[in-house]
Chains A and B, each alone.
Chain A
Amino acid sequence: KQEVTQIPAALSVPEGENLVLNCSFTDSAIYNLQWFRQDPGKGLTSLLLIQSSQREQTSGRLNASLDKSSGRSTLYIAASQPGDSATYLCAASGGSQGNLIFGKGTKLSVKP
Chain B
Amino acid sequence: KAGVTQTPRYLIKTRGQQVTLSCSPISGHRSVSWYQQTPGQGLQFLFEYFSETQRNKGNFPGRFSGRQFSNSRSEMNVSTLELGDSALYLCASSLWPRIGAANTGELFFGEGSRLTVL
How many chain A residues sit at the interface, stated as a range, is 20 to 34
Interface size on B, residues (CB 8 A): 29
Tell me, yes or no, whether B112 is within 8 Å of chain A by CB: yes
Query: Which of B45, B88, B99, B114 is within 8 Å of A100, CB to CB?
Result: B45
- Closest Cβ–Cβ distance, residue A22 to chain B (whole Å): 16
State whether B106 touches A105 (Cβ < 8 A): no
Tell me, yes or no, whether B62 is within 8 Å of chain A by CB: no
State whether A98 touches B97 (Cβ < 8 A): yes
State whether B109 touches A49 (Cβ < 8 A): no
Query: Which of A51, A89, A97 is within 8 Å of B104, CB to CB?
Result: A51
State whether A43 touches B103 (Cβ < 8 A): no
Tell me, yes or no, whether B108 is within 8 Å of chain A by CB: yes
Tell me, yes or no, whether A24 is within 8 Å of chain B by CB: no
Tell me, yes or no, whether A44 is within 8 Å of chain B by CB: yes
Question: Which residues on the B side are within 8 Å of A98 (C-beta)?
Answer: 48, 55-56, 97-100, 103
Chain A residue nearest to B4 (CB atoms) is A43
| Interface of A toward B, CB cutoff 8 Å | 31-32, 34, 36, 41-46, 49, 51, 89, 91, 93-94, 97-105
| Interface of B toward A, CB cutoff 8 Å | 4, 6, 33, 35, 42-43, 45, 48, 55-56, 58, 88, 90, 92, 97-101, 103-104, 106-112, 114
